[in-house]
């Protein structure tokens, strides 16, 4: 590298740019590209969001080894930014010019790269922040949105950047909305009733963001989901109706409202909204996943009725169809992978049941058994893929879902209770007070109590109950149960060590 190129490279490293933000963890560029293209086509987001989507898409194109296309897309981002912000566009272009400087450098156009470096320096001179360690709020905001869209593992960094932007511009609607969305995604936003009396940070920030921009349908639908968990149903219903009137065609609004409706058992209405949204954006893994969960609910409801296996099979197949589509669009979609694998296990069992119902000839039975084995193999294959992906998954609640579903697969479909216990236990211990942890605890209790009723000297069963008691923060009961486990198996070092630790804590 010549001295001039080395000097240019040093200047580039000083720029605020996606090329200097250490963005490494994304597994699925194609899915991100599709989502960004949808954002652009559907004009989604607040002021400036489309321009940001163009900038981010350009970086994705660079990662996909399409630098010339990336430059063209960044030029479109410049135009959108100028159209959107008029005379106030310069600070908004700091990151865009930085990305262009890097792209020009990578394509060998060093002169243009120098030009964009100088443009950034001119903006920084014209609009000083007063400190070399403080960035412009526009840069913090751009950085935060990038982290938020790039990968779940970057959510803490996104929250930090939004907070820094808000320290400089407390009333900015974009940064307030971004922080609300980032906090929402890091909290469990399911339909489970919250045990806390005080509203969560995400709920409070959603309220704050809506004070500044009361017509944001996405924020309304997110807040409605959070309020439902606090049993504030009337306020949640009002927000849902407002969101549907304000932004009825926004697929992001639709997906959250559909999730809310599913939590209220309004399944048909939820399916209708999701199918309508898919007509606008068919490549949404999230929408396919939500539809699958609706059909799963219909399947479960059908199973509670007098036997109608054909209807159960119909809903299961629709569920599998949409989960397969979700995973095809987003191969890293762990929640969809876990649900799909478990349903393959169910399909295997239905195939075996079909032998009893319809099988008479040897050849037919053989075909059904092969068909059944195929689903069993596919289920195990998907679970193993999901477990491997957990190695890089930082979100404990997602890991918990995978372990719970794998435990269910072994308990109900392979009849390997030891493996089921192992994964129920891993799911239980990952994080507490979630719906999944309660299901894991309930199943472990059922297994242990059944085993004790069959054999009062089953030390492992008492130890399982101790693990559950400790996870539920009842340490005294856990210690008593470990004592019973040791009465049954007095030389077990694992039980003794656990009991000693509990006594020290008590």
Query: What are phi and psi for residue 233, nearest 5 degrees?
Result: -70, -40
Q: Please give the structure tokens belonging to residue 166.
A: 């808000």
- With beta carbons less than 8 A apart as the criterion, state whether 146 and 54 touch: no
Q: Please tell me the pTM assigned to this model.
A: 0.85
Using a 10 angstrom Cβ sphere, with 0-12 exposed, 13-18 middle and 19 or more buried, the burial of residue 455 is: exposed
CA distance 240 to 260: 9
Q: Please give the pLDDT value at position 432.
A: 76
Helices (H) and strands (E) in the chain, counts: 24, 0
Q: Please give the pLDDT value at position 321.
A: 96
pLDDT, block means (10 residues), the chain with 506 residues: 80 96 78 88 83 94 94 94 88 96 95 96 93 93 94 92 97 96 80 66 97 96 94 95 92 92 94 92 92 95 84 94 95 94 82 41 43 72 92 84 96 95 95 87 97 96 96 94 94 92 89
Q: Please give the structure tokens belonging to residue 490.
A: 């007095």
CB atoms inside a 10 Å sphere around CB 195: 7
- The conformation of residue 391, written as its DSSP 8-state character, comes to G
Total residue length of the chain = 506
Q: Please give the pLDDT value at position 48.
A: 84
- The conformation of residue 311, written as its DSSP 8-state character, comes to H
CA distance 442 to 459: 19
Each domain of the chain, given as residue ranges in start order, spans: 3-127, 455-506
Query: What are phi and psi for residue 14, nearest 5 degrees?
Result: -85, -10
CA distances from 435 to 104, 190, 346, 400 (A): 50, 9, 22, 10
CA distance 22 to 63: 13
Q: Please give the structure tokens belonging to residue 205.
A: 């920030």
Q: Please give the pLDDT value at position 354.
A: 40
* Secondary structure of 104-153 as H, E, C letters: HHHCCCHHHHHHHHHHHHHHHHHCCCCCCCCCCHHHHHHHHHHHHHHCHH
CATH no., domain 3-127: 1.25.40.10
CA distance 335 to 167: 35
- With beta carbons less than 8 A apart as the criterion, state whether 177 and 46 touch: yes
Q: Please give the structure tokens belonging to residue 80.
A: 């959108």
CA distance 291 to 400: 22
Q: Residues 6 or more apart from 243 whose CB is under 8 A from it?
A: 217, 218, 220, 221, 224, 253, 257
Phi/psi-derived region of residue 64, left when phi > 0, alpha when psi is between -120 and 50, beta in every other case: alpha
CA distance 502 to 471: 12
- The conformation of residue 21, written as its DSSP 8-state character, comes to T
pLDDT in tens, 81-107: 999 888 888 999 999 999 999 999 999
Q: Please give the pLDDT value at position 234.
A: 96
Q: Please give the pLDDT value at position 351.
A: 46
CA distance 444 to 468: 7
Handedness of CA 86, 91, 92, 98 (dihedral sign): positive
Q: Please give the pLDDT value at position 364.
A: 41
Q: Helix, strand, coil: what percent of the chain each, to 5?
A: 80, 0, 20
Output the CA torsion 32→35→37→42 (10° steps): -160
- The conformation of residue 17, written as its DSSP 8-state character, comes to S
CB atoms inside a 10 Å sphere around CB 90: 18
């Amino acid at each position: 590298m010549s001295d001039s190129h080395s000097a240019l490279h040093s200047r580039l490293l000083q720029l605020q740019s996606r090329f200097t933000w250490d963005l490494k963890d994304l597994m699925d560029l194609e899915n991100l590209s599709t989502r960004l293209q949808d954002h652009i086509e559907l004009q989604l987001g607040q002021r400036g969001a489309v321009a940001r989507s163009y900038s981010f898409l350009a970086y994705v194109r660079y990662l996909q080894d399409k630098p010339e296309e990336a430059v063209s897309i960044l030029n479109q981002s410049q135009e959108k930014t100028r159209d959107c912000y008029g005379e106030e566009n310069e600070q908004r272009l700091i990151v865009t010019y930085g990305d262009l400087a890097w792209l020009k450098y990578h394509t060998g156009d060093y002169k243009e790269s120098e030009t964009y470096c100088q443009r950034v320096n001119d903006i920084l001179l014209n609009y000083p922040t007063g400190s070399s360690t403080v960035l412009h709020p526009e840069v913090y905001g751009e950085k935060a949105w990038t982290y938020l869209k790039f990968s779940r593992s970057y959510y803490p960094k996104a929250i930090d950047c939004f907070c820094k932007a808000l320290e400089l511009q407390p009333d900015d609607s974009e940064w307030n909305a971004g922080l609300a969305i980032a906090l929402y995604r890091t909290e469990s936003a399911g339909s489970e009733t919250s045990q806390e009396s005080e509203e969560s940070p995400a709920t409070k920030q959603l309220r704050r963001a809506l004070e500044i921009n009361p017509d944001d349908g996405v924020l309304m639908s997110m807040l409605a989901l959070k309020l439902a968990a606090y049993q504030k149903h009337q306020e949640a219903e009002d927000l849902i109706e407002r969101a549907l009137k304000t932004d009825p065609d926004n697929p992001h609004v639709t997906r959250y409202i559909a999730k809310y409706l599913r939590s209220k058992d309004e399944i048909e209405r939820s399916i209708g909204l999701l199918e309508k949204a898919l007509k606008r954006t068919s490549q949404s893994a999230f929408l396919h996943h939500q539809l699958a969960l609706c059909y799963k609910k219909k399947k479960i409801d059908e199973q509670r009725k007098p036997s109608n296996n054909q209807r159960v099979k119909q809903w299961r197949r629709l569920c599998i169809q949409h989960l397969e589509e979700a995973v095809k669009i987003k191969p890293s979609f762990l929640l969809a992978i876990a649900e799909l694998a478990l349903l393959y296990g169910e399909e295997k069992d239905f195939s075996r049941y079909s032998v009893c119902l319809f099988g008479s000839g040897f050849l037919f039975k053989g075909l059904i058994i092969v068909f059944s084995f195929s689903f069993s193999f596919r289920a195990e294959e998907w679970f193993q893929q999901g477990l491997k992906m957990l190695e890089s998954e930082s979100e404990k609640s997602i890991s918990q879902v995978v372990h719970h579903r794998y435990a269910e697969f072994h308990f109900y479909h392979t009849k390997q209770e030891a493996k089921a216990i192992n994964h129920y236990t891993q799911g239980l211990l990952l994080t507490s007070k979630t719906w999944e942890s309660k299901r894991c605890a309930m199943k472990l209790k059922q297994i242990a109590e059944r085993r004790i009723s069959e054999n009062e000297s089953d030390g492992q069963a008492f130890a399982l109950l101790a693990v559950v008691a400790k996870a539920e923060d009842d340490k005294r009961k856990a210690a008593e149960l470990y004592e019973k486990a040791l009465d049954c198996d007095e030389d077990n070092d694992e039980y003794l060590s656990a009991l000693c630790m509990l006594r020290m804590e008590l």
